[in-house]
Amino acid sequence: MTLSDYLDQFAELFATFDVLGAFWQIVRLTAVSAVVSFVLGTVLALMRISPIPSLQWVGAAYVNVLRNTPLTVIILFCNLGLWAQLGLNLASPTSQTFFEQNNFRLAVLGLSVYHAAFVCEALRSGVNTVPVGQAEAARAIGLGFLPTARLIIFPQALRGAIAPLGNTLIALTKNTTVASAIGVAEASALMKTMIEFRPDVIIAIFLTFAIGFVILVLPVGLVVTSLSRRLAVAR
């Protein structure tokens, strides 16, 4: 087969299927889950470095449970457990697009609680790069735990945590494909459909999604590398 044959196949696939829409769904899932998991992960990291033993324990327990549970299990639990069994609606049930919205949000919930554990550990590894004298100096001028964490520790920890945070973001981007398990029409769901209807152009289908993900993920790695270089704290 020649290159132009492939190009014809790609053109045909893009014309028949909403490939861009499916990838757009990946971007939405990633963006929203990244924000939520960052907030949740920051709270968890604060708990783990706090001077209060019970908070430390809760933080550690959360991380160890969530990090060691397969994402598919978490996402399915959000759908079958939280929604179907316990009746947790994350969208208005009268809405025309209830299932679409509700499944999207349940997926975001599952992705966020899972990746928050990794964000927490990434931040904590960043905190470990900050010399303890920084916190002692902050406490010595009368700053309490939260101001010390917010003003002194986290700004420096973040710079040390950029690489592991970037890895978490890359993993999150790819892990959003698990959302198809609960009916979110993202890229991997479309890929299955396409394979079903066009098994004759299977290589082109695989290439479409492989290249699509590389295009999504590659810039993250590049940005991370340049950020961690530029933001390094001089000591």
Partner 1 sequence: MVDRTSTAAIPATGSPVGGEPLVVLDGVNKHFGALHVLRDVDLTVHRGEVVVVIGPSGSGKSTLCRTINRLETIDTGTITIDGKPLPAEGKELARLRADVGMVFQSFNLFAHKTVLENVTLGPVKAKGMNRAQARDNGMALLERVGVANQAGKLPAQLSGGQQQRVAIARALAMNPKVMLFDEPTSALDPEMINEVLDVMVSLAGEGMTMIVVTHEMGFARRAAHRVVFMDGGQIVEQAQPETFFTAPRSDRAKDFLSKILTH
Q: Under the criterion CB under 8 A, does residue 156 sit at the interface with partner 1?
A: yes
Q: Under the criterion CB under 8 A, does residue 199 sit at the interface with partner 1?
A: no
- Compute the least distance from the CB of residue 47 to partner 1, in Å: 17
Closer CB to partner 1, 29 or 138, in the complex: 138
Closer CB to partner 1, 196 or 229, in the complex: 229
Contact stretch for partner 1 (CB under 8 A) within 22-30, 104-112, 142-150, 161-169: 142-150
> Of 107, 102, 120, which Cα lies nearest the Cα of 37?
120
- Compute the least distance from the CB of residue 61 to partner 1, in Å: 24
Q: Under the criterion CB under 8 A, does residue 127 sit at the interface with partner 1?
A: no
CB atoms within 10 A of CB 158: 19
Contact stretch for partner 1 (CB under 8 A) within 98-106, 119-127, 136-144, 186-194: 136-144
H, E, C per residue of the chain: CCHHHHHHHHHHHHHHCCHHHHHHHHHHHHHHHHHHHHHHHHHHHHHHHCCCHHHHHHHHHHHHHHHCCCHHHHHHHHHHHHHHHCCCCCCCCCCCCHHHHHHHHHHHHHHHHHHHHHHHHHHHHHHHCCCHHHHHHHHHCCCCHHHHHHHHHHHHHHHHHHHHHHHHHHHHHHHHHHHHHHCCCCHHHHHHHHHHHCHHHHHHHHHHHHHHHHHHHHHHHHHHHHHHHHCCCCC
Distance CA 94, CA 92 (A): 5
Q: Under the criterion CB under 8 A, does residue 134 sit at the interface with partner 1?
A: yes
> Of 12, 27, 30, which Cα lies nearest the Cα of 194?
12
Which 24-53 positions form the footprint of partner 1 (CB under 8 A)?
51
Which 87-126 positions form the footprint of partner 1 (CB under 8 A)?
none
Q: Under the criterion CB under 8 A, does residue 235 sit at the interface with partner 1?
A: yes
- Compute the least distance from the CB of residue 85 to partner 1, in Å: 42
> Of 33, 70, 7, which Cα lies nearest the Cα of 186?
33
Q: Under the criterion CB under 8 A, does residue 223 sit at the interface with partner 1?
A: no
| Count of residues of this chain found to bind partner 1 when the rule CB under 8 A is applied | 22
Residues 159-198: x/- map of binding to partner 1 (CB under 8 A)? x---------------------------------------
Q: Under the criterion CB under 8 A, does residue 128 sit at the interface with partner 1?
A: no
* Binding-site member from 60, 88, 143, 189 for partner 1 (CB under 8 A): 143
**Residues of this chain that bind partner 1 (CB under 8 A):** 51, 131, 133-134, 136-144, 147, 151-152, 155-156, 159, 233-235
